[in-house]
Structure 1
Amino acid sequence: MRHALLSLCALFACGDNARVPAVPVISGDATLVLSADGTQLVFARGDTTLLTFHADAFQVGTIDDLDEADSYDPYWLFLDGAPEPPESLAWKALERGARMTVLDSTSGKLVLDVGDTEVTFSASAPGTFEVHVAPQTNRAVAYLRVRPDADATEGFYGLGEWGDTVMHRGKLRPMQLEVDLESESAVVENHVPVPLIIGTRGWGMFVESRRPGTFDVARATDTLIDVTYGTAADSAAGLDLHLFSAGHPLDVLAQYFGITGYPGLPAEWAYGPLLWRDEPKDQAQILDDITQIRTLKLATSGIWFDRPYATGVSTFDFDPVKFPAAKTMLQALHDAGLRYGVWHAPYVAPASNDIDPAGAQHDFAKSRGFFPPVLGVFANKWGAPIDFTNPDAYAWWQQSLKTYTDPLPAGYGVEGFKLDYGEDIVVGLLGRRKAWKFADGSDELTMHHDYTLLYHQIYRELLAPAGGWLLTRTGRWGDQTKGMIIWPGDLDATFDPQGAKIGGSRAVGGLPTAIAFGISLSASGFPFYASDTGGYRHSPPNNEVWLRWVQASTISSAMEVGDSSSQMPWEFTPENGRTQQSVDIYRRYALLHMRLFPYVWSYAKAIAKTGHPIIRPFGLAHPEVGQHPSDQFLMGEKMLAAPVIEAGKTARDVWFPPGAWLSWWDATPYDGGTSGVKATVPAPLDTLPLFIARGAIVPMLRDTVETLSAVPANSTIDSSANDPGVLWVRVAPGSTRTTFTVYDGSKLAQTGGTALTFTAGTLFTQGALFEVIATPAPPASVHAGAAVLQQRASLTALKQAAEGWFWESATGGTLWIKVAGSSSITVP
């Protein structure tokens, strides 16, 4: 009807005088402006063009009739040698340079007739626009497509979990799990696809769709971002997008969270380190692990029981043969300051299954209709997943899980879950459906997204509201609200990058891939991440791989240590090549990870205000440098890490952001200049290249802490949960005043390392111990307010005293200053 009216208007010479004039749409400092000739719509912030929508940017993929057997997964449209596209597929769009017709225009809304689509742009939150693309055609619609042009030189981030490179220029990124028969895992390793792309000029685009989609990022030309969704039977509902403009690209994440929800926080103890064995042997082994952890003084906050620990999958118990006194064992873990979780998956294996049968549970579920009514292809060892869209199945599963989560001694006192598998529901294989149908009437074309959310939700609801422990292999947009830690699945226990040749297949990837996964997730709305330290496939890793992985895991938003060989850090074998020196190095890095908790947790808490992730891609945090490494990153604003990811390397190149930087270990200076500088840094096997900016303030726990978990009152184990203690504060003196607010409200400030301030918060009330590095000579005196602090004979003596100061030559000269409470310190 709309097209008929437009034709009548043309017939009766409505002419140009009848055209609705285009008014710029304004949202904060962002605008959408249609060119005078109507051929392009410019999304801009001030004078900076962010995206340009030409007349051919909005397209409809039509066909004669929809085929119910076709998944309309657009990924296959972009691959050479892939299944042929639907025979009658025709793309309907205006030609580039054609005029788009204004149907309605105000400062808050613009409606355009763009050939076979009607596109509505609406201002929403400041700097944000909602976009609705509606097809206007009598033919069946298979695909909807949006193709803006971006800057030819900028970098592109987001889009979820990717292990080849963190910057997506020149990449094809599907928004669902896809088959890749050349990979050793047989899938494209994108277990957390997120349809959010962020440009380094300060913009983002989020596609709010659960249908299969694909981002083709500047492959056809160096400016074209081609976003295609297989909307098929849902096409009448159109396609919804959101455009974001922000002064800094990291700020885009807050706008995205405003729509999909801000990330939740895991439990504090989940930060780790956590230890695990792939196949726990028995109760005696677990009890010995407790002894080893505490005797060797290995900073550890928890463990988990990986499969097999139960009678079967899923029997909701502990195998009484392996664990004859399971609750006594679990209480021993608690007494040692070790929280614990268990591996789980959404299956109940039939009694006939060769692996982990759960006959009684399976038969009950089958008799009640708790499996999906129509089953597709299974991607697991145990059979059909439970249908969580069935309210009765949901309630039964959750009630069964309470056997684990109810506190000791009535239950097992489990406080978290490692959630594996659950990826059976895919949109199809090679473009054809493998149909699923669920109790609520949904199918795989949306449940490839929704099942993940339900799977994680059913467990999260049973954990402490203030934060439990969910370690998940998968995630989807909106999932981040549950506070899960993403674990990237089974990586290679090697230095191989993703795609390296391994026999006749391509590698999933080892340490380089683990680092890239974590960085890419941080730019995609999932701030918590931990890979299996050392890898999983082909494990155990050799000593060099393991130590370099330990170093990389140290500077992460969570740390877990284990692999498929089930070898703990203190276990030496010819295969792993570890020695006592390996354990000593591990102890140092595990302790550093735990000690950094106040720094990391302060940034974690700040996400709710800033949206900024803890781990930050170098190229996104510092777009002015124009470099996009996948093997170095920032932790917070002031720490820079560059793990070694190649065998035999004892030095590596590092890009430094603008400004002055110091080595964490010895305060060697590095100058990033005004636009970033690349330098070669030493990296012997026991050393992670780690740096802090001049002016950095890094709050830390004391150097004796052993766990973040509570211990009994009479325990000798050093627990920060029992006693937060004195706040240690490393300072890299900078000439300008800098500040840091700790997550408990404690406030810190420094100016030149000669003026320091500590204001106690709610937890750290016992004072502060400042560690001012790069101080080449001892001071004549140190003052706290009007008082002159006493110089102590050693660092040990200073620790034992209520206050005072001590200078030593380590780390470029270190001035240690201790105060008993809130204080302003000056060093004349």
Structure 2
Amino acid sequence: MKKVFYLLALLGCISYAEAQPYCKEVASLKGEKWWGGFVGIGNMMPFPSSTREFDMSKENFNNQIVPFMLSSVGRYIWSEYPFKFQLSNDTIKIVSEYEEPVLVQAGKTLKEAYLAASAKHFPPSGKLPDELFFSKPQYNTWIELMYNQNQKDILDYADKVIENNFPTGVFMVDDNWQKYYGNFEFKPEKFPDPKGMTDRLHQLGFKIMLWICPFVSPDSPEYRMLAAKGYLLKAKGSDLPAIVHWWNGASACYDMTNPEAVAFLKEQLRNTQRMYGIDGFKFDAGDVGYMNGEYDYYDKQANANTFSQRWAELALDFPFNELRTSWKLGGKELVQRLGDKDYSWNAVSLLIPDMTTAGLFGHLYTCPDMIGGGQFSAFLNIEAGKFDQELIVRSCQTHALMPMMQFSVAPWRILDKEHQEICARYAHLHEQMGDYILQTAKESSQTGEPIIRSMEYAFPHQGFTECKDQFMLGNKYLVAPMVTTGNNRTVILPKGIWKDDQGKTFRGPKTIQTEVPLNRLPYYERIK
């Protein structure tokens, strides 16, 4: 690796010129457009002709990273290691400290580039996360309870799911249920009977997941025990645990490159499952963007990206899992959620391009954030009657025909009866389409093809390169939700015969204007 060359240069064994990073320039071909690197900026893709520099070893945009770029004319770039890239006048400049990334001409289309890269670099595992994810909604307590996770309000939330005619599904208890970070016991002052709570949730028809992270509160009993075992990440050149600054303060951190530490953590999670009847975990954090200090990893060749990958790999042992960030791992049986978005129309418009980008990077089983947004700060100081109810409904509809849908802000708290009933209807549509979504997911686990597909992927070189407001669900359904305010939109149908959600038939290629009242989600079944 290139770092070895730097050391050799310092020792005088080679010249500094020989120790320079690998640089590569790739000039775009005529009409060629590029995707790559970061799910969190999928809405920027295909990239414009010029961009700022992006660094995979320093940032992750609150989402997944893959050392991979692919183009609309069948080319792709791959590296096993993080690299920097920048577009300037339609030329990609790549800099790597590790190796020269490989440029491959795999075909003539975006799909051919993707399938060739998937087969070689991130083949599908043949496995799925738990099948319930694809047919039932998820409910996350974050927006409603934030850091006040407690037994009474959790059970109240679950009861209201049923009272308001929403399907049961996966129930996620978010951050601050535990005594402190690194501990996996419920706070007794907030949860007088946690096993009774989980038994009740199971009786209601939910599966239960708990939020966890790799961090450990400093000077806790767990901290002292883990430090003595050598299971915590160490500060550079020190025997002392490193302190990582993240969004909830400053904490020590499991060294995920230490197999003994990982095995120990896994056993703690298994104990939590046995003790409380928990089905799985939401594996939060692991962001490259927060691991920006100087550390001594157990694996001497590791870096922040390795750490992120190993944290995500832990989730593979738990079929009920969710991640918001990872390094590589395309094709694996992991639920990869989009990063938290704010409560805005702009955020709704980002869902489709970010989801299709996740698919293009091999993240087959992705959830499009939380309905209405997952940034809790955007929901503060808004009275229940002051929410933009149209926005919440359109966000819900956009989620409904994606692989997964997740509620957090409670529709029954912020919506009137009419808007709430529309959301319940589309939660049930997701349930009704569950067999098709699951079958598509099973096919994806064998072929590597995304469940959610960009129009350019599905219909190459037909003018869809910049299309970001409609998508394909598998091979069969074209979905065209409203992602802006209003009740009319343009839909572009490719060649073929299409039947819409109202039973009307169209012959493509055809551009149509369609009325979209608030209670309608336009989608089109490919008949031929």
Q: Same fold (TM over 0.5)?
A: yes
Matched, 1:670 2:506: yes
Q: Which runs of 5+ in 1 are unaligned?
A: 1-59, 69-135, 180-187, 352-358, 429-433, 497-509, 696-828
Deviations 1:703-737 (A, max 9, x none): xxxxxxxxxxxxxxxxxxxxxxxxxxxxxxxxxxx
User: 2:282 and 2:310 mapped to 1: Cα distance?
Assistant: 15
Matched, 1:153 2:31: yes
Q: How far off is 1:526 after superposition?
A: 0.6
User: 1:533 and 1:667 mapped to 2: Cα distance?
Assistant: 28
The aligned amino acid for 1:254 is: L
Match of residue 309 from structure 1: 177
Deviates more, 1:244-253 or 1:264-273: 244-253
Structure 2 residue aligned with 1:635, among 473, 478, 482?
473
Please tell me the root mean square deviation across aligned C-alpha atoms, in Å: 2.8
Q: How far off is 1:64 after superposition?
A: 10
User: 2:436 and 2:253 mapped to 1: Cα distance?
Assistant: 40
Structure 1 residue aligned with 2:326, among 475, 480, 483?
475
Matched, 1:414 2:278: yes
Match of residue 206 from structure 1: 77
Instruction: Tell whether the 8 Å contact from 2:489 to 2:513 is kept in structure 1 after alignment.
Output: yes
Match of residue 122 from structure 2: 260
Matched, 1:656 2:486: no
Instruction: Tell whether the 8 Å contact from 2:57 to 2:82 is kept in structure 1 after alignment.
Output: no
Instruction: Tell whether the 8 Å contact from 1:274 to 1:560 is kept in structure 2 after alignment.
Output: yes
Aligned to 2:492, the other structure's residue is in SS state strand
Closer, same or farther: CA 254–338 of 1 in aligned 2, 3 Å: same
The aligned amino acid for 1:196 is: F
User: 1:289 and 1:67 mapped to 2: Cα distance?
Assistant: 61
Aligned to 2:512, the other structure's residue is in SS state strand
Match of residue 544 from structure 1: 390
Match of residue 241 from structure 1: 102
The aligned amino acid for 2:133 is: A
The aligned amino acid for 1:318 is: F
Match of residue 276 from structure 1: 140
Match of residue 397 from structure 1: 265
- The within-5 A match list for 1:311-326 is 311-326=179-194
Match of residue 370 from structure 1: 231
Closer, same or farther: CA 579–683 of 1 in aligned 2, 3 Å: same
User: 1:413 and 1:672 mapped to 2: Cα distance?
Assistant: 52
User: 2:218 and 2:208 mapped to 1: Cα distance?
Assistant: 28
Aligned to 2:296, the other structure's residue is in SS state coil
Instruction: Tell whether the 8 Å contact from 1:212 to 1:427 is kept in structure 2 after alignment.
Output: no
User: 2:260 and 2:446 mapped to 1: Cα distance?
Assistant: 38
The aligned amino acid for 1:451 is: F
User: 1:348 and 1:67 mapped to 2: Cα distance?
Assistant: 38
Match of residue 460 from structure 2: 623
User: 1:175 and 1:257 mapped to 2: Cα distance?
Assistant: 22
Deviations 1:166-220 (A, max 9, x none): 32242547352656xxxxxxxx72621223222223x23232222333253xx32
Closer, same or farther: CA 427–302 of 1 in aligned 2, 3 Å: closer
Deviates more, 1:480-489 or 1:522-531: 480-489
Aligned to 1:152, the other structure's residue is in SS state coil
Closer, same or farther: CA 220–568 of 1 in aligned 2, 3 Å: same
Structure 2 residue aligned with 1:691, among 513, 524, 528?
524
Deviations 1:327-378 (A, max 9, x none): 1221122222211101010011125xxxxxxx21122122333222224752
Q: In percent, how many aligned pairs have the same letter?
A: 21
Q: How far off is 1:555 after superposition?
A: 1.4
Deviations 1:285-306 (A, max 9, x none): 3333333223333112120100
Deviations 1:221-279 (A, max 9, x none): 4xx3x241331xx4xxx425262524653243333232333154110112230112112
Closer, same or farther: CA 532–580 of 1 in aligned 2, 3 Å: same
Structure 2 residue aligned with 1:327, among 184, 195, 198?
195
The aligned amino acid for 1:174 is: F
TM-score between both structures, scaled by the size of structure 1: 0.56
Matched, 1:488 2:360: no
Structure 2 residue aligned with 1:165, among 18, 23, 44?
44
User: 1:656 and 1:66 mapped to 2: Cα distance?
Assistant: 59
Closer, same or farther: CA 314–138 of 1 in aligned 2, 3 Å: closer
Matched, 1:459 2:315: yes
Deviations 1:450-490 (A, max 9, x none): 111211222322x2xxxx1221110222x234422222222
Closer, same or farther: CA 227–483 of 1 in aligned 2, 3 Å: farther
Instruction: Tell whether the 8 Å contact from 1:290 to 1:333 is kept in structure 2 after alignment.
Output: yes
Q: How far off is 1:67 after superposition?
A: 9.9
Match of residue 808 from structure 1: none
Structure 1 segments (4+ residues) deviating >6 Å: 63-68
The aligned amino acid for 2:95 is: Y
Closer, same or farther: CA 327–527 of 1 in aligned 2, 3 Å: same
Structure 2 residue aligned with 1:229, among 66, 83, 95?
95
The aligned amino acid for 2:96 is: G
Q: What is the total number of aligned residue pairs between the two structures?
A: 496
Match of residue 402 from structure 2: 556
Closer, same or farther: CA 158–639 of 1 in aligned 2, 3 Å: farther
Instruction: Tell whether the 8 Å contact from 1:604 to 1:614 is kept in structure 2 after alignment.
Output: yes
Q: Which runs of 5+ in 2 are unaligned?
A: 236-241
Match of residue 520 from structure 1: 357
User: 1:190 and 1:311 mapped to 2: Cα distance?
Assistant: 26
- The within-5 A match list for 1:332-351 is 332-350=200-218
Instruction: Tell whether the 8 Å contact from 1:317 to 1:403 is kept in structure 2 after alignment.
Output: no
Q: How far off is 1:610 after superposition?
A: 2.8
The aligned amino acid for 1:230 is: S
Instruction: Tell whether the 8 Å contact from 1:155 to 1:619 is kept in structure 2 after alignment.
Output: no
Q: How far off is 1:439 after superposition?
A: 1.7
Q: How far off is 1:614 after superposition?
A: 0.7
- The within-5 A match list for 1:758-773 is none
Match of residue 301 from structure 2: 442
The aligned amino acid for 1:469 is: F
Match of residue 65 from structure 2: 193
Aligned to 1:623, the other structure's residue is in SS state coil
The aligned amino acid for 2:269 is: L
The aligned amino acid for 1:165 is: M
The aligned amino acid for 1:274 is: Q
Instruction: Tell whether the 8 Å contact from 1:197 to 1:206 is kept in structure 2 after alignment.
Output: yes
User: 1:64 and 1:249 mapped to 2: Cα distance?
Assistant: 37
Q: How far off is 1:544 after superposition?
A: 1.6
> Bigger radius of gyration, 1 or 2?
1
Instruction: Tell whether the 8 Å contact from 2:411 to 2:420 is kept in structure 1 after alignment.
Output: yes
Instruction: Tell whether the 8 Å contact from 1:175 to 1:193 is kept in structure 2 after alignment.
Output: no
Closer, same or farther: CA 544–615 of 1 in aligned 2, 3 Å: same
Instruction: Tell whether the 8 Å contact from 2:209 to 2:280 is kept in structure 1 after alignment.
Output: yes
